[in-house]
Structure 1
Amino acid sequence: MPEALWISFAFALGLLVKGVGLPPLVGYLAAGFLLSGLSAVTGLAIEATDALGHIAHLGVLLLLFTVGLKLKLKSIVSPEVIGGSLLHFAITCVIFAPGLYLLMDLSWQTALMLAIALSFSSTVLAAKVLESKRELRAFHGRVAIGILIMQDLIALVVMSLAAGQTPSQWALIVFGLPLLRPLLFRLLDASGHDELLVLLGLLLALVLGGYGFESVGLSSELGALIFGAILANHPRSQELSKSLWSVKEMFLVGFFLQIGIGGLPDQQSLIFAIVAALVLPLKGLLFFFLLLAFRLRARSGFLSSLALTNYSEFGLIVASVALPDWLVPLAISVAISFVISAPLNRFAHAIFERYAAGLSRFEGQKHHPDEQPLSVGNTRVLIMGMGRTGTAAYDWVAKHETDLMGLDSDPAKALKHQEQGRNVVFADAEDASFWHGLHMPAVHSVILSLGDIEGKLIAARMLRKLGFRGYIVAHTMYPDEAHQIREAGANEAYLTMDETGVALASHIIHRAEPSPD
């Protein structure tokens, strides 16, 4: 059975490369090439069947659907994200396309499509690297993810144009899809947290988005992305994305296997991949200087650029539509870039610290508003995280203490609090550069009301590392997390629902006795 060989080789090679610190998809590509070589040597009929092709296509649709779920305007509407991604795309195409045309004797169309494919960076690798270091919410992490989302949108436009599909008159229905948002929100609320949630994601991504758009002459990839984007602002959009993660990853294994089984690389493919690897540092340097041009500090620009210094699986998806003959050389280029990028990103902070003096010379005099150094002055009580809990804590403390300050990692939220009269400034507790510049001589108490457990753990550890000996208190939903927060350095971590019950009961105990009337 070919399916048994696919699964066995994919698992073995994926486990092998994971053991040396590389993304498993490098192993999946290698498994495909190994199966192709085995077929050539033994004469066994090991080829990409229709079933594998369908699995690969479903993986691409699910990938685009999950990208759509993250497509929030606030994550991409910033000068450094929009400007950085568009300028990098344009400059890369302007440089790479003529170079490929002249050096490889290609047609202009092929050279341009190859340049476009090489301009993208890997969403999968960057997201996994940043997540493993708990830096997805840090400033440089948000910049990198925003640029990746912009690149994904560009890739989708290129794929739609390359496919050359002619829409039917029914395609106009697409403009009415936003009207379905309330219905889709209700379906998402009603789906619970188990298998119905996964089935809803599959229904929207594969049936309505994929097959539905194909039926009216539109790109199925566009349909998957649009249905994901419709749900992006729902509070449970990320839960839906996580529930589909394993299904999407499993189907994408088929996509990478299909590329490898398609044929062994020839000499031209290997030369192309080696040249692509040699020019890979230029891609990172271009990102670095573009981000500095948008007033980022050298540290943030370097960390964001290093996360983007690789070639993308989206380039392979574009090539599968527009350049099927170039899938193998592009696949090898992507694999080699992962081999280079993954170890570098693992030691990104240490690399920057070593070369900080030289890299910082390229900084501009005026920094990005998100990157201003922070001193809390005479603040005595510091509240980290100004969501509903942090805001309630701030307002209560303000009745007894005038020297207090709130910090939040969302600049828009910080500005809104300022407009409402609260002393709140931007600061990202998960960003190492924030702690390097923190000066808090008068603070005696810190309330950790950050939204996720990792932020609270990082804040507690860094406060103690900086020598803070005051009182640190936090809240959490689960007893095991409360234990972790105390271990990280907090004096106390209270359970949110327990504290809610105590607060409700206090209203009864302390209220005035009602009059007989």
Structure 2
Amino acid sequence: MIDALFLTFIFLVAGVVSVPIATRLGLGSVLGYLLAGVLISPLLSLLQVDITALQHFAELGVVLMLFLVGLELKPQALWAMRARLVGLGGGQVALTALVVTAVCLGFGESWNTGLAIGLILALSSTAIVIQTLSEKGLLKSDGGQSSFAVLLAQDIIVIPMLAFMPLLASPDLSNIVTEVADTAGSHDSTLLHGLSGWQTTAVTLGAIALVIVGGHYLASPIFRYISIANLREMFTATALLFVVSVTVLMSLVGLSPALGTFLAGVVLASSPYRHELESDIAPFKGLLLGLFFMTVGAGIDFQLLFEKFWLIIALSLGLMIVKAIVLLVLGRLFNIRGSNKWLFGLSLAQAGEFGFVLIAFSESNSVLSQATADILLLIVAISMLLTPLLFILYDKKIAPRYVNDSTGQHSSEFPNDKKIIIAGSGRMGSVVDRMLRLANYDATVIDFSVKRLRALERFGVQNYFGDATRPDILHAAGIEEADILIIAIDDPEQVTKLVKHVVEHYPKLHVIARAHDNNHVYDLWSYGCRDIIRETWDSSLRMGRSTFEALGIPTEQAQQMVDTFNHYDKDSMVAVADAHQTGVPSHENQAYIARIKEHLKERDPEVRATMNALRHGKDSQT
């Protein structure tokens, strides 16, 4: 227990100290974690910590990250990426593998060893690339989306790679181990051991079908049941249980857990619990990814690195140059232009974390010698360590050159469509949402009521489960990119809390808030909200107009009378707003009462005359 706590303490201190410094220096959090791992490496060696075993556990962070990425992609969006998945992803792996194989042949390696090395080094780091692109807000750009397509294709291609690697072993070796070594996504034994070809296929397809069907039909009822307890920690535990279950299932059938959880995320992308899942899992993803990056830095074999320093550095840089050239060529063929082309080429130039898995697997299957495997491990680690520097190069030197270029990243980063978030889907929120959708505006609707969500689902209305007053839920819903926030929550205190938060932290966001009564209007006004709708005001005006019509006043004149009163009331509200005291009822606020009396005395005669003229059908100006 003490050893585990002490080890936890070491990693936490290393991350807490290094990452803020690296971020402040513009190096990014990933490089901060990697450097933290390098710094604590001697201490971990002294304590005889098994870095490899720790890294396998930390790779759960990669799995969680792919799950969260899947939550952002609906199946239609994934289908729309099919050309890039096959063309960019498949092309990148094939071309890189061929070039690296040719280089290995030039160094005197056999063709099977060269091909194995080419396949291993063709993969890129999902963890580093997606984390960095997300931090810099570049994941939605054309270059970011192209990079994501390649990474997803690589995760898919890893599966046939694992099956193909043993075939590259030396033909004179009779004892070939076919099980995958302990990895982030596999164990020493799987359910496929001893099965025939058709049985293996059936089990594999059955596991994928279970993830899809379970995610589509079972996840929502389970989360609905858990949410009844109204305990956030139970929802978090259930979310983690879901992800870990998919990970274990994928491992048992020899598939990539990252690919399986990504698929589960895509299935749940339309779930009403999507934002709640994202906000609850995100902290665990961040911590485990940080641990993973630190284990990469700590796992560098410095003795071998110093012995063959220039050779390993040259091979690492050579690999990154080769991959960058291949990616730039593919980017040009697939019409990726401007700064996006360079973002695409530089972001994927490193080797990936799954390279560690394939290297160990190839060594155990007599494809690679131990000496070659050790050098490859260093090349993978060094290239990952250098990747944040490429992003700094992009930020400082390349991106500024394309600021005014219509083919640069900005053309795809900022769509013209307004992003709208509606907090609350009750009496007001549901009407506003329906009105917007009929006008072809898509809004993200968040509500904490399970009963309301179930009722709206029956009518085909898409909503998301979550407490909109929580900052992490707002972040998951995309508050940073939102243009308009409509607050239609029933509880006035919750409305006030949300207004205070968003006005303070997102001053450029247009906030439209629902007010319970006049006192609530003044409270929201004092906190900076300037677009306030009293929940019964418009219906009261409609009722007043109907009353005028029932009294025999023509419809047009009745509407003019209502408009006159509406303008008068708005002017009155603004005129006395500065006399309001938050938390003090209007009837107990003497300054407010005095200001109201003064305003009524000044304006009432004028409005009375206007209303009377309209009542008798005379022209008048308000």
Matches within 5 A, 1:57-76: 58-59=60-61, 61-70=63-72, 72-73=74-75, 74-75=77-78
Match of 2:157 in 1: 154
Partner of 1:198: 236
Say whether residues 1:455 and 2:481 are aligned partners. yes
In structure 2, the CA distance between the partners of 1:346 and 1:129, relative to structure 1 (3 Å rule), is farther
Match of 1:186 among 214, 217, 221: 221
Q: Distance in 2 between matches of 1:134 and 1:219?
A: 27
Change in CA separation of 1:390 and 1:331 when aligned onto 2, cut-off 3 Å: same
Shift of 1:252: 4.5
Partner of 1:483: 503
| Change beyond 3 A, Cα 1:270–1:236 | farther
Name the CA distance, whole Å, in 1 between partners of 2:111 and 2:39: 33
Give the aligned CA root-mean-square deviation in angstroms: 4.6
Which residue in 2 is equivalent to 1:88? 92
State the partner residue of 2:512: 494
Letter in 1 for 2:511: A
Q: Is the 8 A contact 1:110 1:323 kept in 2?
A: no
Q: Distance in 2 between matches of 1:5 and 1:106?
A: 45
Contact 1:117 1:318 in 2 (8 A): yes
Counterpart of 1:126 in structure 2 is 129
2:18 aligned with 1:16, yes or no?
A: yes
Larger Rg: 2
With over 3 angstroms needed to count, the CA separation of the structure-2 counterparts of 1:67 and 1:386, relative to structure 1, is: closer
Residue 126 of structure 2 corresponds to residue 100 of structure 1: no
Partner of 1:443: none
How far does residue 92 in structure 1 lie from its aligned partner after superposition? 0.8
Q: Deviations over 1:436-464 (max 9, x none)?
A: xxxxxxxxxxxxxxx7433347xxxxxxx
For 1:493, what is the secondary structure of its paired residue?
strand
Separation of aligned partners in 2, 1:101 and 1:496? 70
- Corresponding residue number in structure 1 for 2:281: 244
Please tell me whether the aligned partners of residues 76 and 150 of structure 1 are also in contact (alpha carbons under 8 angstroms).
no
- Give structure 1 stretches of 5+ with no counterpart: 40-44, 375-381, 397-405, 410-450, 458-473
| Mapped partners of 1:390, 1:289: distance in 2 | 45
Q: How much does 1:161 deviate? A: 5.5
Identical-residue share of aligned pairs (%): 18
Q: State which of 52, 63, 82 in structure 1 corresponds to 2:54.
A: 52
Aligned residue in 2 for 1:293? 333
Corresponding letter in the other structure for 2:237: L
Q: How many residues align?
A: 424
Q: Contact 1:156–1:221 at 8 Å: present in 2 too?
A: no
Q: CA deviation at 1:187?
A: 1.9
**More deviation in 263-272 or 284-293?**
263-272
Check whether the contact 2:34–2:294 (CA below 8 A) recurs between aligned residues. Answer: no
Q: In 2, are the aligned partners of 1:67 and 1:225 still within 8 Å (CA)?
A: yes
Deviation at 1:85, TM superposition (A): 2.1
d(CA) in 2 for partners of 1:303 and 1:239? Answer: 31
SS at match of 1:46: coil
CA distance in 1, matches of 2:124, 2:541: 59
Structure 2 residue identity aligned to 1:510: R
Tell me what 1:334 maps to: 383
Aligned partner (choices 18, 22, 25) of residue 33 of structure 2: 25
| Match status 1:209 vs 2:246 | yes
Q: Report if aligned partners of 1:32, 1:256 keep a CA contact under 8 Å in 2.
A: no
Distance 2:501 2:140 in 1: 19
The TM-score with structure 1 as length reference comes to 0.65
| Match for residue 139 of structure 2 among 130, 136, 140 | 136
Which amino acid in 2 is paired with 1:233? S
3-state DSSP class of the match of 2:270?
coil
Q: Distance in 2 between matches of 1:383 and 1:504?
A: 30
Question: Following TM superposition, by how much is the alpha carbon of 1:89 offset from its aligned partner in structure 2, in angstroms?
Answer: 1.7
1:307-336 deviations in Å (ceiling 9; x for gaps): 334433343344454458346314432343
- Asked if 1:316 is matched to 2:356, the reply is yes
Aligned partner of 1:83: which letter?
Answer: G
Instruction: Tell me how far apart the structure 2 counterparts of residues 252 and 373 of structure 1 sit (CA, whole Å).
Output: 28
CA–CA distance in structure 2, aligned partners of residues 2 and 220 of structure 1: 29
User: Per-residue CA shift, 1:231-266, capped at 9, x if unaligned?
Assistant: 343243354244223323444555556564585451
Counterpart of 2:316, as a letter, is A
Rounded to whole Å, the distance in 2 between the matches of 1:176 and 1:61 is: 19
